[in-house]
Amino acid sequence: MDGAQAVPHVAVDAQAIDCDFLAFSAHKMLGPTGVGVLYARRELLEEMEPFLSGGHMIREVRLEGASWNEVPWKFEAGTDNIGDVIAFGAALDYLTELGMGNVRAHEIEVTEYALRRMRQLEDVLMYGPLDVEQRAGVISFNFADIHPHDVGTVLDHEGVAIRAGHHCNMPLMRRYGVAGTCRASFYVYNTIDEADILVEALKKVRAIFKNDRR
Partner 1 sequence: MTVDKEEFARQEAELDELYREIIIDHYRSPRNRGKLPSPTVSREGFNPLCGDEITLDLSVADGVIVDVRYDGQGCSISQSSASMLTDAVKGKELEEARSLFRRFQAMMVGSGVADPEELGDLEALSGVRKFPVRVKCATLAWHTLDEALESLLQGKS
Q: Please report, as ranges, the residues that interact with partner 1 according to CB under 8 A.
A: 146-147, 149-150, 153-154, 157, 159, 165-166, 179-180, 194, 208-213
User: Residue 5 or 211: which CB sits closer to partner 1?
Assistant: 211
User: Residue 119 or 149: which CB sits closer to partner 1?
Assistant: 149
To partner 1, the closest distance from the beta carbon of 209 in angstroms equals 6
Catalytic residue among 144, 161, 168, 207: 168
- What is the sign, positive or negative, of the torsion defined by CA atoms of 113, 195, 106, 148? positive
- Is residue 175 helix, strand or coil? helix
- Cα(145)–Cα(33) distance, rounded to whole angstroms? 36
Q: Is 81 left (phi over 0), alpha (psi -120 to 50) or beta?
A: beta
Instruction: Reply yes or no on whether 168 is catalytic.
Output: yes
* Distance, CA of 81 to chain centre: 21
User: Residue 53 or 211: which CB sits closer to partner 1?
Assistant: 211
Which sequence positions are flagged as catalytic?
A: 168
